[in-house]
Structure 1
Amino acid sequence: MLHIRPARISRTVSLLALGIAIATPAAAQQGPQAEEATDGNLIIVTAQKREEAIQDVPIAISAFSAEALDNYKIESGSELLRAVPNVNFSKSNFSMYNFSIRGIGTKAISASSDPAVAVSFNNTPLIRNRLFESELFDMQRVEVLRGPQGTLYGRNATAGVVNLIPALPDDMFGLDTKVEVGNYKTMRASGMINVPITDTLAIRAAGALTSRDGFDYNTFTQRRVNGRQLWSTRLSMQWKPSDRLKINAIWQHFDEDDDRSRTGKQLCTRDPGPAEINGIRIPDGTQPGVVTPLEENLRGRFSQGCQSASLYDDAAYGTPNGSGLAFVVAGQVVIPMGLPPGNAFQQVYAFLPTDPFVDATQSRNLREIATGYDPVFRAKNDIFQGNVEFDVTDALTFVSQTAYARDRYYSSQDYNRFVSGPLFSDTTGLLDPQTGVPISQAHAAPGGIFCDPQLGCSNRLLAVDLSRSRNRQWSQEFRLQSSFDGPFNFNLGVNYLDFKTQDDYFVFNNAFAYIAYNLYNRSPPYGTTNYDPCPIGTTGSDCVYVDPNPIDSLDEQGHNYFLSRNLVRTKSWAIFGEAYWNVTENLKITAGLRWTKDKKTTTPVQSQLLLGGGGGTIGTSGGNVSFGYPTDPDVVQKWSEPTGRIVIDWKPDLGFADQTLIYASASRGYKGGGTNPPRPNLNPRIVQFQPLPATFKPEYVTAFEIGTKNSFDGGRVTLNATAFYYDYEDYQISQIVDRISLNENFDATSWGLELETAWQPSRAFRVDANLGYLRTRLKKGARSIDVMNRTQGNPDWVLLRPWIQLPSNCIAPREIVENILSNPVTQFGVGLNALQALCGGSKEMGTFDPSITDGLPLYQFYGFEYNPITDAPNGGRGFFADLEGNELPNAPRLTFNIGAQYTIPIDNGDWELTLRGDYYRQSKSFARVYNSAYDRLKGWDNVNLAVTLMRPDDELTFQFYVKNVFNKSPITDFFTNSDDTGLSTNVFTLDPRIFGFSIAKRF
C-alpha cells in the first residue's frame, strides 16, 4: 500500500514523495489509498512480504503507483522496460513472452518450462498469465524486484519478480471514471467504484475496456489486422471485523476476442543454393541439358530456404527457396496425377514444377503483410484470491493466501506471412495412364484449385498455425511473521502449488492434405484412378487419415496436419523462512532459506504429420498408426533444492545525506527443468534419428550484489546504485529441431551496474532517470548446433534437404555428394533419392523403385558405404558451434531512460498544466546465443510525450499524449522457424505511433 501522513494529503504531493528513491521514479498515489506511515513519507512496498519503506529494503526494486504508471504511459507489463534498468521484454512465438531482467529471462519455450521472472498477482505467483495481453487498471502499485528472489517468492524467480498489486476496498466512498479516444479508432473506458457497506465491510468494483483497429495492414485481404477488443473486470471485498482480523477476496477476469497477431512480419534472405559443388554443375531448371523434370530444381536440395544473414538488409524481405522444401518436391516429382488427353508421355504431377515462392515479394514496411488468412485471437483469464491476516498477538501475525487461476488461449494466423504463387496442377480431364479413364476429381485440383478441409479452396499454398493452451493453477500459502520491538524478527511460511496445462500447436498446410490424399490414400499406391478413404479405426494399412472438419471444430485425429501436444502437471511444495536481526541501530542482517520439492509429470504425445500405419514396408509413409495421437508412458521428474540469501545492510550517518542505506547480499536461485517434446512417431526401419535428450536440466544462479540508496536535500534528490555478479548454471534456451522445441542448457556469467535518480528542485519541476549496464558471457564448453549454419564453414561437408518424413536438414560428405551428382543415372531421377538417403534414415530410405538399382540399396548402387547416424557429425545434424564468450540473448549492454515534467499553475492555481516527456534507449543485443550477423538486433529508442490539464479541486483531468513519437519500428526480437519450412524468421516490433485524448473524473 502507499502510506502518506494525513497532513500531507492534499492536491500537492510532498517533495519527498515526488522525489522518491531512484527505484520509485514516480510520485506516490494520493487519495483514499493513502495511509499514515510511521517511518516517513515514503512508498511502502511488500517486496519482503511485509510492509516496509522502499528505501529501507535491501533489494534493487522499482515501484510504480497508479499515478506513476499514468505518467510513464505504462499501460501493460510489456512497457515496464522503459522505466526499469536492465529489463527487456518481447513477445515469443507461441502463447507466452520473454520478460528478462539482467539478461536472464524465459528463452525456453517448452510447455514444461517455468518463467525465470515470477509474475505475481498480489504476492501470488502465476505460472501462466496475460501480462502481455492485458492492460493495467485500478492498480495500487506495480513492483519490479531485480535479482533472485527464491526465498520468499520461490522456485521460478531466478531473475526477479513482477508483483502486480491491485487497489483494495477501503472505508471511503470513491468513484473514478475515464474515457479516451485516439488514432486507429481507439476507444477506451475504465472506472472504479468503492463502497463501504458497514464500518467493517467494503467492496470495490473496477473495469476497463479497449477497442481499436489493427496496427498492421494486410494488402492481400485489404484489411487492417492486429487490432484489440478486450475487457477486464475486478471485484474485491475487504472485511475487518476486528482490529486483529482482516479478510479480503478478489476476482479478476480478462477477456479478449479480436485479430491480434501473435507474431509480426516474416523475413527471409533467400538461399539459392550452390550453383556447383567442386566444379559439378547443379541443375536449377534454368539451364539446358536437364533430361527430366524430376531434377529440374536439383539445386534447391542444397538450399536451406533462408540464409544466415542480417535482418536489416534489403534482401531480408525475400521469401524462402521453395524448390527444396520436401513437401513441394514430393508434389513435383513423386505424385503423378495422370496424362492429358492425347498425350501418352507428358505425365502431370500434383504440383506445378516452379518454386511457389519464386515470384512472391514483400513490402519493406514491417507493419504491412500479405496473407490469405487474417489472424484470430481469443484469450480468457480468471484469478480468484482469498487472503486472511490474523494478529495472533500484538507482535505475531498469521497470513493465509489462497489462489485459483484459470487461463484459456487461442491464436491462429497465416504461417507464411506472404502470398505464394500458384501451386496445384490443373487435373481437369487427366487420364489414368493404365486404364485410359478420367481420374477421380475427388480431392484433386480441377482448374488448379484444391479444397482443403481446414483451410478452404485455393490455387495457392496456404499454411496456417494455431497455438492453443488451457491451464489451471491452485496455490496455498501460510505465513507467520513477527513485529517484535526487539532486535529479532522472522517470517516463516509454507506453500503448495498444483499447475496443470495442455498446450497444443497445429500447423495446417493445404499441400499436406493434398499429399495425404494423392500419395498415401490412392489405390493402387501411387495410382491415379481412385481415392481410398482412410477412416478412423483403420489398421494395417499405410493410409493417412485426413481430418474432414474445419479448423474451429477439429476431431484432432488427423495426420494431414502437424500437431505438437504437450500435457504437463507440476506439483510443488516448499517451506521457507527469513530472519531479521538488528545487530545495532544502524546494522541489520537478513538470512533466508527455502527448501523446494518439485514434481513434474509430462505425458509425451508424438507428432504424426503424413504418417500412416503400413507396418514398415519399403515405400510406406514411415509411421506406425494411421490416425490419432497415442501417448507414451508419463515422464516423471523430481527435484529437491535449497535456495536462500543473506544480506547485510547498514545505515550510516554521513552528514551530507538525509538517509543512506548500504547493503551487500549473496543469494541462490533455482528453476525446475523439464522435458523436451517427443519427435515424430517414425518407424525406425524406414527413418532413423540420432537420439536427442528427452529432458533438460534445472537452472541455478548464484548472485552477489552490493547497493546503496540515498536521499539528499530534504528528499529533493534521490540516488541509488547497484552492482551485481551472477554465476549461472544450466540456463535454458530453446530452438526448433526436428519440429520440436529442443531445450539446451548453458553456463554463463552476468555482471552489471544500475543507477537510478530523481531530482525535484521545486514543486513544479521534476527529472527522473535510470541507467543499466550489463555484460553477459557464456562459459567455456558452451556449444550448440546452429540450424542456420550446420556445416560451420567446413568445406568437406555440404547441407542437404531431406525427404518429407525427416523434419530437419542434414549435412553430408562432399565426396559422396559429388559421386552422386557426377553419375549419369542422376539425370533419371535416382540421384534425388540417393541424396535423400544421406539424411538420417535407414539404408532403405529413398529406395522407391528397386528395379532401377537392381534391388540394391542406394548406397551400394553408388558404391559408397555411409550411415549418417554413425558416420556423420552428430548423426548428420551438423557441427557444434563454439559459443564460449558469446553474449546471452536479449541482454543489451545499455538501457537508459530519462523523463522530465513541468507543472504550470493557471487561473491562480485553480488549474495545473503539466508537460512531460520521456526518452528510452537500449543498445544492440542478440536474439540467439550464436551471436552471428543474423542474430544481431540493432539498438533502438523511443520518445513519449504527454500534456495534462487538471483542476485539483474537482479532480477533473484532461490529457493528450503521444507514444512512439517518431513512429519507429525496431526489431525487438525474433523467432527462427523450422528447417522443413525454410528457416524463415518471425520478427517482433514496437507498437506504432499512438496518440490519444482522455478525460478522467474522480468523485
Structure 2
Amino acid sequence: MSSCRALMAVSALALMAAAPVCAQTANDEAIPEIVVTVQKREQKLLNVPAAVTGLSNSFLTDVGITDFAELALFVPGFEVQDQSPNNPGFVMRGVTSDSGTATAETRVSVFQDGVSISRSRGSYVELFDLERVEVAKGPQSTLFGRSALIGAVNIIQAKAKPVLDAKAAVSVGDYDFRMVDAMVNVPLGDTFAVRVAGRTKHRDGSVENLLGGEDFNGLGTDALRLSAAWTPSDALGFDLIVNTQKDSTPGTAFKSGTWNPTNPNTGAVLGDRTPFGGAALSDGFMNRDLGLERTVTGTTLLGRWVLNDAWSLSSISAHRRFSASEVFDADGMSLGLLTAAEIAKGSQWSQELRLNYDAGHAVSWFAGLSYFKEEASTAVPLQFDERAAGLFLANALNRPTPQSLPVLQATANAAFGPLAPYLNTAHREVSTTFGETKSVDAYADATWRVTPKFELSAGIRYTQDDKTSGYAASVESPSVLAAASQLSPAISAQVNQLATQYFMQTGTAPSQALIGQWTAAVTQAAVAGLPPVGIFKQPTPGNGNVVSRDFSDDGVTYRLVGRYLFSDTVNGYVSVARGRQPKVLSGDSGATPLAQPTFTEAAAETVDSLELGLKTRLLGGRLSWDTAVYGYKYENFQTQVATSTGGLITVSAGEADAYGLETQAYYRLTPGADIFATYAYNHARFGNGLYKGNRFRLSPDHSVSLGGRFKFHTEALRFWVTPTYTWQSEVFFENDNDLAKFQTAVPNLRPVGDTVQDEKQKAYGLLNLRLGFAPKKAPQGTSWSVEVFADNLTDEAYIKDAGNTGDNLGVATFIAGEPRMVGVTVRVNY
C-alpha cells in the first residue's frame, strides 16, 4: 500500500464515520474522556500537547488486550515484537529497543506507575487489573528521564480502594489455552484497603516438535500483585504495590531456512524449511530443556502529600529484580552445531521526589530530583558439537539435509584424522557482560498561559551517569577444532621427525602400526598442552576474570511546546524537543586466548524533533480525532553489529532521519455502537555511515488498525460484537536489511555468503473477532458474561522474526507468528 492510498483509506474511514452524524440527536452519549498523567499532573488527553494514546481498562478488556504485542496493534507509531517474554522488541516511530546486553541502553522506556522497568529482559510483563495504559511518542527524555529517547509506555495499575469488589475471568481455547484472571479488593477500615490480583496463562506450542516433547512457541506465565492503600487524610496518601511474575515457557522455534528438519540418528527428513511447519531442534544443555525460566519482582511505594490548594509533593520509591535463563537452538537444526543460552540478572533501586505548583494563575510548574542505581549481567553460554562445527566451517556439512550422527562421526574421522578422537561433542564457551549505573537527574518544567487561548511549556532535564562496563569470557576445555590448523602441521612434523630418527637408528622404515602409535602419542601430548582456546570466544585473563572500565556521561535534554486553543474542543500544538541516549562501552573477547578484552565506545545518541499536532473532540463529544506530523534527525545512531568472534557490540551507524504522520479516531455512532481507527506512516532511513539508505529494522512504513464495539439487547439478554483488523506494510528484521553485501563469507565464522534477501515480512493483516452475551438483569450484587473469541480468524501465515543468532553464521532462522486461535471466556463480577 502506498502512502497516498493509505491516507485515502483513513480519510474515507473518517468520512464514513461522520456520515451518520446528522441522523443522531443531541442527547447521544459522548465517548469517555481519558485522563492521563504524561505531564506529571492529571489532564484530559485533549489538553496534552503531545502525541499520546491513552487506553482505558474497559477498552483493553473489550478488545482482548492482555500483553504488549496486542496493545501495540492499536497504538499508531508503536510496534512490539514478542519473540519470547525474555526477548521483546519495543519499537516507537521506527526506532527499536531490544538489546539484552547488560551494558546497553534502551530507547523506548517502559514504566509501571512511573517506575522504569526498561531493562529488556525484565520489561515484558503481563497487562492485567489496570486503570489504563499511556503511550507517549516522540522524545520524552525531559518528562520521563533515562532511555525515553523516542517514547515511553506507562502502565497504570489498579490501586486498592475502600470498597468491597471482586471479579474473575476464565478462558479456554485452542492449543490447550487456559487463562484465569482474578481480583479481590477489601477495605479494612475507613483509611486502609488491600487488593490482590493475579493471572495464570498457559498454552501449548503452535509449532510441532518433530522429535517429540513439548511443542514450540507456547506460553507459561503466572503473575500476582498485592497492593495496599493508606489515606490517613484527604491530603495524604500512600500506595504500596508488590508485583511478581514467573515465566516458564517451552522453547522458541528458531526454524532454519537452510537445513531440513531431520532425525539426527537416521538422517531421515521430517519436514520442510518453511517457518510454519514442524521443527526438529537439538536438545538443550546445562541440564535444561529448550525454553525460558524467568522471575520478575518489584516493590513500589507511591506517596502524595497535598500541602495546600497550590502545592503538592510526590514520591516514588522502588526496588526491582529479575532473573532469566533461556536456552535456545541457535542454528535451527537437530545436530548440535550451536546451542546457546542467555542468563540475565538485574536489580535496580530508584527514588524520585517531585514538587508541583498550580494555583490557577498564569504559571504552573513542577520540578524534581531522582536517583537510579542498577546492576546487571548477561551471560551467554555457547555449546558446540565440534564434529558438526568443524564440518560446517569447512563447508562440508551437507545442505540442505545434514548428515546423521553416525555419518557425521565417520566424516569427522576422515576429515580430522588423529585429531578426531579429541573433538568435543559438547564444547562450551561463556561470555558475560556486566553493567553498573548510578544516575542522578534534576528536571523542571513550566507552563505559562500567555492568553486564555495560548500557552507555552518549557522543560529541561540534566542527567549525570557514573557507569561501569565489564566483560569476561571463559572456555571449559580447550577446543581442538579451534587449534586444528596449528596442531595438524605440528603433529605431522613431529611424527616425521620420529620416523627419521627411527630410520637412522635401525636402518629400516617404521611400520604403519608404529607410526600410528607415534601419531596418537604426539596428538595426546599436543592436546594436553593446549591453552584454553575457544572457537568464537577467547577467554579473558585467568580464563574468566572480569575486566571492567569505568566511565561517566552527562547530558541535557529539553522541550519547548506551544499550544493554541482554537475552541474548547479543538487544540493545536507545535513542539521542539531533544532526546538523548547515553554513550555505551561494549566489551568483547581479544583475538588470542587470555588476552585483554577490547572495549568499543559508541558516542551518545541524540535526536532532535519537530512535531505539529491537532486534537479534537467534536460532534457533542462523540468524535475524538487526534493527528500529529513529525520529523527527526538522529546523530550517532547506535546499532548492534556482530564481531568476528560472534559477539554483539554497540557502534555508531552515523546519521539517520525519520518523518511521519499518526492519526487516531474514536467515534460513537450511537450509544451502543463505537468505531475506532488508527493509521501511522513512518519514513525512517539511515542517512550515512554503515547502513546508508537502509530502512530501520522492525519498522513498517504504514500500519493501520480498524475496529468497532457494537452492543444490542433483547428483553432478556445483552449482546456485543467486537471485530478488529490490523495491518502493516513490509518490515525488515535487521538494520542491514539482509543485503548480500553485509552477508558475505567470513573465514572461521560464515563459510558461505547469504545472497537471498528473505529476512523480511511482507505486508499482512490480522482479523480478530469477539462475540459475547450476558443477562440483561443479573442477580443482586453479581453479574456474569460469556464471550467467544477468535484471534487471526483467517489463519494468516506470517513471521515475527528472522535472522537471529544463526544469521551471524550465514544460516538465518525464522520464527512463525501465531496461527488462528479460538476460545471462550466466562466472566463473573461481584
How many pairs were matched up?
703
Equivalent in 962, 965, 984 of residue 790 of structure 2: 962
Equivalent in 39, 45, 50 of residue 36 of structure 2: 45
Instruction: State the 1:178 CA deviation.
Output: 1.1
The answer as to 2:570 corresponding to 1:665 is no
Aligned partner letter, 2:769: L
Q: Distance in 1 between matches of 2:305 and 2:106?
A: 32
1:107·1:733 contact (CA, 8 Å) conserved in 2?
no
Map of 1:103 onto structure 2: 94
Q: Secondary structure at the match of 1:886?
A: coil
Equivalent in 563, 567, 580 of residue 430 of structure 2: 563
Instruction: State the 1:367 CA deviation.
Output: 4.7
Q: Secondary structure at the match of 2:103?
A: coil
Q: Distance in 2 between matches of 1:94 and 1:361?
A: 27
Please report the RMSD computed on the Cα atoms of aligned residues, expressed in angstroms. Answer: 3.4
Equivalent in 917, 932, 938 of residue 762 of structure 2: 938
Aligned residues with identical type, % of pairs? 23
Equivalent in 646, 655, 666 of residue 739 of structure 1: 646
User: In 2 relative to 1, CA 357–498 (structure 1 residues): closer, same or farther, beyond 3 Å?
Assistant: farther
Aligned partner letter, 1:211: H
Map of 1:899 onto structure 2: 707
Map of 2:605 onto structure 1: 699
Map of 1:723 onto structure 2: 629
Map of 2:340 onto structure 1: 465
Aligned partner letter, 2:359: F
Aligned partner letter, 2:602: F
User: In 2 relative to 1, CA 367–157 (structure 1 residues): closer, same or farther, beyond 3 Å?
Assistant: farther
Q: Secondary structure at the match of 1:504?
A: strand
Instruction: State the 1:886 CA deviation.
Output: 2.1
Map of 1:287 onto structure 2: none
The answer as to 2:662 corresponding to 1:749 is no
Q: CA-to-partner distance for each residue in 1:91-126, whole Å, 9 max, x for gaps?
A: 469943211111112264532112211000111111
Q: Distance in 2 between matches of 1:593 and 1:410?
A: 39
Q: Distance in 2 between matches of 1:528 and 1:624?
A: 16
Map of 1:708 onto structure 2: 614
The answer as to 2:389 corresponding to 1:475 is no
Question: How do 1:250-399 and structure 2 match up within 5 A?
Answer: 250-261=241-252, 264-268=254-258, 362-364=272-274, 366-373=276-283, 375-399=290-314
The answer as to 2:381 corresponding to 1:506 is yes
Q: Secondary structure at the match of 2:670?
A: coil
User: In 2 relative to 1, CA 927–678 (structure 1 residues): closer, same or farther, beyond 3 Å?
Assistant: same
Equivalent in 581, 584, 591 of residue 451 of structure 2: 584
Instruction: State the 1:956 CA deviation.
Output: 1.8
In terms of Rg, which structure is larger? 1
Instruction: State the 1:40 CA deviation.
Output: 11
Q: CA-to-partner distance for each residue in 1:551-586, whole Å, 9 max, x for gaps?
A: xxxxxxxx9312121111111111001001111112
Q: CA-to-partner distance for each residue in 1:202-235, whole Å, 9 max, x for gaps?
A: 1111111112222221112264233223211100
Question: How do 1:546-945 and structure 2 match up within 5 A?
Answer: 560-608=427-475, 611=478, 625=532, 629-653=543-567, 659-680=569-590, 682-683=592-593, 694-737=600-643, 738-746=645-653, 747-780=655-688, 782-783=689-690, 883-907=691-715, 910-931=716-737, 932=739, 933-945=757-769
Q: Secondary structure at the match of 2:544?
A: coil
User: In 2 relative to 1, CA 63–625 (structure 1 residues): closer, same or farther, beyond 3 Å?
Assistant: same
User: In 2 relative to 1, CA 237–562 (structure 1 residues): closer, same or farther, beyond 3 Å?
Assistant: same
Q: Secondary structure at the match of 2:53?
A: strand
User: In 2 relative to 1, CA 419–362 (structure 1 residues): closer, same or farther, beyond 3 Å?
Assistant: farther
2:305·2:313 contact (CA, 8 Å) conserved in 1?
yes
User: In 2 relative to 1, CA 776–692 (structure 1 residues): closer, same or farther, beyond 3 Å?
Assistant: farther
Q: Secondary structure at the match of 2:427?
A: coil
Q: CA-to-partner distance for each residue in 1:597-646, whole Å, 9 max, x for gaps?
A: 112201221354764799x9995789855786333531122111000101
Map of 1:121 onto structure 2: 112
Q: Secondary structure at the match of 1:220?
A: coil
Aligned partner letter, 1:266: S
Map of 2:153 onto structure 1: 162
Q: Which runs of 5+ in 1 are unaligned?
A: 1-21, 26-38, 269-316, 321-350, 421-460, 519-524, 532-543, 548-558, 784-882
Instruction: State the 1:72 CA deviation.
Output: 2.1
Q: Distance in 2 between matches of 1:211 and 1:928?
A: 30
Q: Secondary structure at the match of 2:665?
A: strand
1:360·1:418 contact (CA, 8 Å) conserved in 2?
no
Q: Distance in 1 between matches of 2:804 and 2:181?
A: 38
Structure ranking higher in strand proportion: 2
2:372·2:438 contact (CA, 8 Å) conserved in 1?
yes
Equivalent in 946, 951, 956 of residue 775 of structure 2: 951
Map of 2:805 onto structure 1: 977
1:623·1:681 contact (CA, 8 Å) conserved in 2?
no
1:107·1:732 contact (CA, 8 Å) conserved in 2?
no
1:498·1:571 contact (CA, 8 Å) conserved in 2?
yes
Aligned partner letter, 2:460: L
2:122·2:322 contact (CA, 8 Å) conserved in 1?
no
Equivalent in 224, 233, 248 of residue 233 of structure 1: 224
2:257·2:274 contact (CA, 8 Å) conserved in 1?
no
Instruction: State the 1:898 CA deviation.
Output: 0.5
Q: Secondary structure at the match of 2:69?
A: helix
2:260·2:269 contact (CA, 8 Å) conserved in 1?
no
Q: Distance in 1 between matches of 2:234 and 2:796?
A: 54
Structure ranking higher in helix proportion: 2
User: In 2 relative to 1, CA 115–665 (structure 1 residues): closer, same or farther, beyond 3 Å?
Assistant: same
User: In 2 relative to 1, CA 95–735 (structure 1 residues): closer, same or farther, beyond 3 Å?
Assistant: farther
The answer as to 2:183 corresponding to 1:192 is yes
Q: Secondary structure at the match of 2:554?
A: strand
User: In 2 relative to 1, CA 712–623 (structure 1 residues): closer, same or farther, beyond 3 Å?
Assistant: farther
Aligned partner letter, 2:649: L
Q: Distance in 2 between matches of 1:934 and 1:708?
A: 39
User: In 2 relative to 1, CA 674–759 (structure 1 residues): closer, same or farther, beyond 3 Å?
Assistant: same
Instruction: State the 1:177 CA deviation.
Output: 1.1
Map of 2:752 onto structure 1: none
Equivalent in 174, 178, 188 of residue 169 of structure 2: 178
Question: How do 1:413-492 and structure 2 match up within 5 A?
Answer: 413-420=328-335, 461=336, 463-492=338-367
User: In 2 relative to 1, CA 138–530 (structure 1 residues): closer, same or farther, beyond 3 Å?
Assistant: closer
Equivalent in 816, 825, 829 of residue 998 of structure 1: 825
User: In 2 relative to 1, CA 93–206 (structure 1 residues): closer, same or farther, beyond 3 Å?
Assistant: closer
Instruction: State the 1:901 CA deviation.
Output: 2.4
Q: Distance in 2 between matches of 1:191 and 1:717?
A: 34
User: In 2 relative to 1, CA 390–358 (structure 1 residues): closer, same or farther, beyond 3 Å?
Assistant: same
Q: Distance in 2 between matches of 1:104 and 1:247?
A: 36
Q: Distance in 2 between matches of 1:526 and 1:587?
A: 83
TM-score (norm 1): 0.66
Q: Secondary structure at the match of 1:151?
A: helix
Equivalent in 50, 70, 73 of residue 82 of structure 1: 73
Q: Secondary structure at the match of 1:768?
A: strand
2:795·2:820 contact (CA, 8 Å) conserved in 1?
yes
Q: Is 884-893 or 49-58 further displaced after alignment?
A: 884-893
Q: Which runs of 5+ in 2 are unaligned?
A: 1-13, 18-29, 284-288, 391-408, 410-415, 491-525, 534-538, 740-756
User: In 2 relative to 1, CA 225–884 (structure 1 residues): closer, same or farther, beyond 3 Å?
Assistant: closer
